[in-house]
A and B are shown apart, each in its own frame.
Chain A
Amino acid sequence: MLVRTGLTGPFPRSEPLVAATRDLDRGRTTPEAVEALYASAEREVLALEERLGLDTLSAGYLRSPDLFRAIAETWEGFTVGSLTRWFETNTFYRQPILHAPPVRAAGAILARLPAPIRAAPARARVILPGPYTFAGMLENRSGETEPALVHRLGRLLGEEVRDLRGAGFSTFQFTDPLLVIRPPEGPRAEAVVAGYRAVASALNGGTSIAWTYGADATPAFPLLDRLPVSVVGVDLADTDPDRISEARGGPALGLGVIDSRTTLAEDPEEVARIARSLENRRRPASVWLGPGMPLDLLPYEPATRKVEVLAAARKLLGDGGSP
């Protein structure tokens, strides 16, 4: 079985970095001192990813305040709004407010990627918001309908992918939990497919991943299997692996095998058993293992312990070839 592993969202900040960012808010340290800590913390996460043999690298996205901020603060048409709960978690994002059709700021996302993966883009996983979740979680004052906005965001994200491909990046994850939390139907579903088609047309041989979490993905599989992406990821903390669609020929399967809502470590044997069972039933081209929800729902130490399961499960499953 071809197995791929990688982080699917921000890694938690270490306790010294937590203390430093708090101190910065209170005027007790300097931006330069915090910057130095960020840089060393990014190198530490990268070293952890490399030690575990993860296929895609992220350097932790430690500076990322939320999934949308890099875009909401740089693309025209947006302002950053009030704190809003991020689904069923005790974390919050600042809701983007879209006042007019958005205009992409070329290079803005690249500039905000962690420095270690900017320096080595070939194995990097670029994490961007999925067009459906982005459109659904912002406050839309632009006058555009939601389906039109989903499609437009897909086209803009496609342009972004084209630029990033030119800069050497090849793996792009679109975090799109709303696809399973509020599965789109009718025109919305068609807009989602069209949005991802726009992304696909810019991939030029790269890999696209639509990553979901937060609800049982089973009802959404008829749409997920239609998405023109390389991989569809589902969170096994919410989706019963035995109920995952057996449809063949669709995207490869991503499995969220780490539950970021508990510090209890997952059993690698159990992860391997589930992956083998799905391989037998669905025959995916590859299986991508990662955390379901972002690991920054955990403190640093438990996250560091739990992520080990990716390497252990991969070892049990066998490697399966080069990326």
Chain B
Amino acid sequence: MTARGLFPSQEIGSLAKPRWQLLGQRGEPLDERARGELSTADGHLGFAGPLAGVRDALLDGRSREVGAEGVRDLAALYFLRYLEDAGLDRVYDGEARRIEMYEYPIRQMHGFSFQGHVRSFDSKYYLKAAVTEEVRLERPYHVEEFDFVRTHARGEPKLPITGPYTLADWSYNEHYLARQPGWKGRAARRTAQREFVVDLARRAIRPTLAALIEHGCRVIQIDEPAAGTHPDEADLVVEGFNAATDGLDAEFTMHICFSNYRDLLPTLLEAKRCRQWAWEFANRDSPEHDGYEVLKALREYGDTREVGLGVLDVHRDAVETPERVAERIGRASKYLGDPSRIWVNPDCGLRTRSLEVARAKLGAMVEGARRARAAIENPRR
């Protein structure tokens, strides 16, 4: 059992931005709805304390005076208190300062050129860059963001950062592919991708992680949502992770979602400094399909690391009951054979849900963890 007790809880990613933040960042005066949201949230959480001046200016219609950075500070503080109020042990700032997880990191690096928008589906697009020169970090990023969180967090902060494999997979590979001789087929593409991932890890992610650790960051979640896109590249995910974290002293976790984890095993287990697998499970869990059964594979391979157990489906508004959460934790405990290795969290970031729904889900998660803990600690009750 950990010092925290069984089934501590953590956030996993971004949250929806409140209307007052969006309007305030643009320098627009808050409308009635946004003013109401800000007043109600502060009334409940009392979060604005150190930034009361920013809050007052927004409520007074002086958004332009505050400036976008002041509004982001207030939003980051709001999300910290929002997550702490929900009862989470590990918190962050809801990624209040981030719009997405690809473009911002890439813009902190030299060697990339944005090419334009690619359709993801229907009329949804994402901006995609090509690596055209050797990767070089302009400056470590997320550091000021972390400093703010560290200063204000009451819970333990955990910083999320996009991993090298995902950044490479979501980019076009020109520079490293051009270096391959002859026809650029599958073998050339794989060699080029490996060089790209490792360069990203060594030249950009690792120095950023080192800077964050120097600023006191102890728990770092490396997000690799692309890990499941090409199962035969699981070794590249691992190589990138190891190159980024080698020799660094922090607690690293790896977040993967909406993937067939069995396809990535056992290769993924070679990620040496990964202390916790933070994966999505709830979305695939239904009466017809046991979403947690894949955990048996970790036991089969003798892996004893922590598991960040996704117990909230971030794609549905229906709020899980605490009983449902507790049952999922119990099932996962049975499959792993060791409940002390389990952290509970949402499957992924809750940004696609309203803040009201997200808060209700997080509350159910914390209560469900409490019940699961009680069931183990006081089995007769």
Contact = CB atoms under 8 A, between A and B. Distances in A.
Given A88-B230, A91-B121, A301 B115 contact: yes
B299 interface: no
Interface stretch (B93-101, B173-181, B340-348): B173-181
Contacts of B226: 90
Interface stretch (B21-29, B82-90, B133-141, B183-191): B183-191
B185 A240 contact: yes
B118 interface: yes
Interface in A198-241: 216, 236-241
B229 A89 contact: yes
B123 interface: yes
Contacts of A297: 118
A257 to B, nearest CB: 10
Q: Is the interface of B mostly helix, strand, loop or mixed?
A: mixed
The residue in B183, B186, B187, B230 that gathers the most chain A C-beta atoms within 10 A of its C-beta is: B183
A88 B207 CA distance: 30
A183 B125 CA distance: 31
B123 A22 contact: yes
A66 interface: yes
Contacts of B130: 262-264, 302
Interface string A237-281: 111110000000000000000010111101000100010000000
A92 B123 CA distance: 11
B262 interface: no
A270 B123 CA distance: 36
B286 interface: no
Interface stretch (A12-20, A46-54, A137-145, A168-176): A12-20
B123 A15 contact: no
Interface residues of A, number: 41
B128 interface: yes
Nearest to B131: A263
A109 B348 CA distance: 39
Interface string A85-122: 10011111110000000000000000000000000000
Interface in B117-172: 117-123, 125-126, 128, 130, 169-170, 172
The residue in A238, A240, A241, A262 that gathers the most chain B C-beta atoms within 10 A of its C-beta is: A262
A141 to B, nearest CB: 13
The residue in B123, B125, B187, B258 that gathers the most chain A C-beta atoms within 10 A of its C-beta is: B123
Nearest to A87: B229
B182 to A, nearest CB: 8
Contact of A241 (B117, B121, B122, B183): B183
B116 interface: yes
Contacts of A263: 115, 130, 172, 174
A83 B187 CA distance: 31
B118 A298 contact: yes
Given A13-B119, A83-B121, A299-B116, A259 B229 contact: no
Given A238-B186, A270-B183, 18 more contacts: A13-B119, A25-B123, A85-B229, A91-B118, A91-B119, A91-B120, A94-B122, A236-B183, A236-B185, A240-B185, A261-B172, A262-B130, A263-B172, A263-B174, A264-B184, A296-B119, A298-B118, A302-B172
19 contacts: A66-B121, A85-B229, A88-B229, A90-B126, A90-B229, A92-B120, A94-B121, A216-B186, A236-B183, A237-B186, A261-B189, A263-B130, A264-B130, A266-B184, A299-B116, A299-B117, A299-B128, A300-B116, A302-B115
Interface of B: 115-123, 125-126, 128, 130, 169-170, 172-174, 177-178, 182-187, 189, 226, 229-230, 258
- For the complex of A and B, the 7 pairs showing the least CB-CB separation, nearest first, are A299-B116, A21-B123, A92-B121, A263-B172, A263-B130, A264-B174, A18-B117
